Structure 1
């Protein structure tokens, strides 16, 4: 039997193991799969992966599709596995502050369940009804709230994943203190599903704050805005997020303020939040042109929009770059980015996550060549840089994860161990693994 016949036979068998979807909706960087299937049980997923592995089908796990801009150009794309039918909340123990969910459960579904018990996962995305928990872990993306609560990986206490062979493997459990075996949770966090397909995730959750306020202050000069933000960060005040936005970035999240805008989120008991917001307002006011305090839903809406403005969704004729730098050096980095885009980029917006030491730059231009050159210039800035999303033409002959880490050889060995036939997201992870 020819290779083509073997491949087609595997696709025909896989098509019987889940609901078929329209392939055109699952395009990745210009490639469309031959087949999209949505299994409704872990057993069906296991059989699909086993068949795909035997036939050598290039396979991409798919959640809500909201962050599919992240990743290198795929070497091939035969099969997409849509995980959204694996969406159960498997176990929830409100008294223990733990929850286990299948990978296809959306952030909105989980948030509603936790919210009914006054609990939450501190993650904000505008597409909560589409963003899946598995997708968040696979991409490893976190928003500015990580300053106050840590990254999502810090709340991850257990994982179940399917290997290409079809075998299920587990790490961690349903208790907060778990030290047995390898740290599989961190291994799969941000790995783009290149080492296995996430089936279930266990988290420790936290009490939902009873109140929140956001102090918003506008400045004419970057230096004044940065000084105010850093003064709060290195004080005894305890906001859960601190971001600094240029005028275009601020406009994108609904803040109609000129110049540079500092936003600081306060969460907790009502009286403590009011006191915190008042004290922060006093600190940031001296050089500010304008200071406002957003409350309740207005504050929540702002941070949801901020989460969307730093994601890895596809942007059309633009790229988004995330650059790591020490918080005190972020203002200088913002100026370096402005100089680096000279003569290339039509439009630039910058958001500085002062709490986490990250700068997000979104650059728009008409030509792939200009965007590619802009990425080349930016990739050498800061401590590390990642091209979060870009048109396919910009990704040619580059690694979107920037400079190769010292542990790349270890990552190659892990890929060889977990996915020896290299069927999972081939070429998309760091080093084009």
Structure 2
């Protein structure tokens, strides 16, 4: 169905494009693609969609296109990719207000000029936009010390499904009394409203960066676990305690072992002191590599370019890509990754993965035939759930997402989620079937 002349009268025709007929391998598309350039345009499009009950999918950088969603195509694909840029940078207050279509790289490059940064180390920063990162509450290894987007956002502007605009939080760090409404929208996968502006806390660039890579030999998982407990119980302040599976370690370090990547960021003397503590307390037979400053930054840059990015999925079924997020007790990260390694052999898929031994979030990237990936995912979920963890599929082609069951079974609190959805979007037009339980 074509967009009516009512909407063409609201937006310039060049911002409305009709689908070319070929479905995207990841789905989550739209019969019409509408590019918005302002909050007012977002509001007008949603008011139209609400009035005529048109479904709306939301996209920006496209890195989350394979994340959830059993509706292949909505009536409208709302693109925020051109609604980008910094609104306000308060250098003294260490806060930034930015539009959702701004990529993490654009933000980082601009902040670096003032010696500041946004402490989010999510993958593919040149593609991933701040709106998409927050909608998925995505994060990286350094969430151990800095937290996720949910911990950093202090204010948003939200366009509801009927076009109304609200503000949550504010533009100062101490602004919340009572329930923090920001948290309602972060991680909701765009199902409750469209984020049109974000105010977020910043940090100074680190004075010195160090990365210690500890290589544990086969059969030494308990040594890695014990050492992780020891460093967490110490006075050390690691920025990351990331466990790398052997295939990923080989790609990033040249050594096919389970590797623990420990980052420190502080004054140079403080970093060196902590690195010396690590060396002095290492179990026997553990090899280590230490990188500083530019070498450490280059290593993390390579790390941030692993896994699917929403732009390079292969039509060849043998190279089907999928990604899974595991949430577990932090000390169950190592056995969860070991289980993924073992199941990959059983189901004939290749796997790379890493997990935070301090925060309990792991990511596993899989390649293989679709039917093998589905079998792997079901076995992995069963294994992790035995330890009261969870598995979410964060990337898969549309053709197999429904079979994989991206979010798993509905949680016990699902009626609350559904009630919030119906209160915010009673006609279910926003990112329909994208979130937990088909919300």
On whether the aligned pair clears a TM of 0.5, the verdict is: yes
Contact 1:229 1:284 in 2 (8 A): no
Aligned residue for 1:325?
328
Alignment of 1:18-37 (within 5 A): 19-20=15-16, 23=19, 27=24, 29-30=26-27, 32-37=29-34
Whether 1:431 aligns to 2:433 is no
Q: Unaligned 5+ residue runs, structure 1?
A: none
Residue 205 (structure 2) pairs with residue 203 (structure 1): no
Q: Which residue of 2 aligns with 1:47?
A: 44
Give the count of matched residue pairs: 426
Q: CA separation in 2, counterparts of 1:15 and 1:251?
A: 51
Task: Please say if residues 10 and 55 of structure 1, whose CA atoms lie closer than 8 Å, have aligned partners that are also in contact.
Answer: no
Query: Residue 374 of structure 2 is aligned with which of 368, 372, 381?
Result: 372
Name the structure 2 match of 1:232.
231
TM-score by length of 2: 0.90
Relative to structure 1, the CA distance from residue 338 to residue 130 in structure 2 (aligned partners, 3 Å threshold; closer, same or farther) is: closer
Alignment CA distance shift 1:110-1:21 (3 Å): farther
How far apart in 2 are the matches of 1:14 and 1:344? 52
Query: Match for residue 317 of structure 2?
Result: none
| Unmatched runs of 5 consecutive residues or more in structure 2 | 315-319
Q: Secondary structure at the match of 1:394?
A: helix
Give the whole-Å Cα distance in 2 for the aligned partners of 1:154 and 1:259.
33
Aligned-partner SS, 2:12? helix
Q: State the shift of 1:108 in Å.
A: 1.7
> What is the match of residue 361 of structure 1?
364
Distance in 2, matches of 1:41 and 1:26, equals: 28
Cα 1:19–1:26, aligned 2, differ >3 Å: closer, same or farther?
farther
Worse-matched range after superposition: 205-214 or 231-240 = 231-240
Where 2:156 maps in the other structure, the secondary structure is strand
Which of 284, 287, 306 is 1:286 aligned to? 284
- Distance change in 2, residues 1:92/1:398 (3 Å): same
* Equivalent residue, structure 1, for 2:109: 112
Residue 122 of structure 2 contacts residue 138 of structure 2 at CA under 8 Å; is this kept in 1?
no
The alpha carbon displacement at 1:230 in A equals 3.5
Candidates 259, 263, 272, aligned match of 1:261: 259
Q: Distance in 1 between matches of 2:150 and 2:290?
A: 31
Identify the range of structure 1 (423-432 vs 34-43) with the bigger mean alpha-carbon deviation: 34-43
Equivalent residue runs for 1:184-199 within 5 Å: 184-199=181-196
State the shift of 1:160 in Å.
Answer: 0.2
Shift of the 387–396 alpha-carbon distance from structure 1 to 2, 3 Å rule, reads: same
* Larger displacement relative to structure 2 (399-408 or 292-301): 399-408
CA–CA distance in 2 between the matches of 1:308 and 1:417?
Answer: 38
User: Post-superposition shift, 1:415?
Assistant: 1.0
Q: Give matches, 1:295-374, under 5 Å.
A: 295-309=292-306, 313=310, 315-316=313-314, 317-366=320-369, 368-374=370-376
- Residue 179 of structure 1 and its aligned partner are, at CA, apart by 2.4
* Deviation string, structure 1 residues 149-202 (Cα, Å, up to 9, x no partner): 111211110010111211111100011122246422111111111111110001
Alignment of 1:53-132 (within 5 A): 53-74=50-71, 76-125=73-122, 127-132=124-129
For the residues of structure 1 that align with 2:114 and 2:210, how far apart are their CA atoms?
22
Of 162, 166, 170, the match for 1:169 = 166
What's the secondary structure of 1:257's corresponding residue? Answer: coil
Which residue does the alignment assign to 2:155? Answer: 158
1:391 aligned residue (378, 394, 397): 397
Inter-partner Cα distance in structure 2 for 1:147 and 1:21 = 42
The aligned runs of 1:216-231 (5 Å cut-off) are 216-221=213-218, 222-223=220-221, 224-231=223-230
Partner of 1:422: 428
Aligned residue for 1:218, secondary structure, equals strand
Q: TM-score under structure 1 normalisation?
A: 0.91
CA contact (8 A) 2:124 2:309 kept: no
Deviations 1:30-49 (A, max 9, x none): 46422212211111111111
Residues in 2 aligned to 1:293 and 1:339: alpha-carbon distance in whole angstroms: 30
For residues 21 and 217 of structure 1, do their structure 2 counterparts lie closer, same or farther at Cα, with a shift above 3 Å needed? farther
Shift of 1:213: 0.6
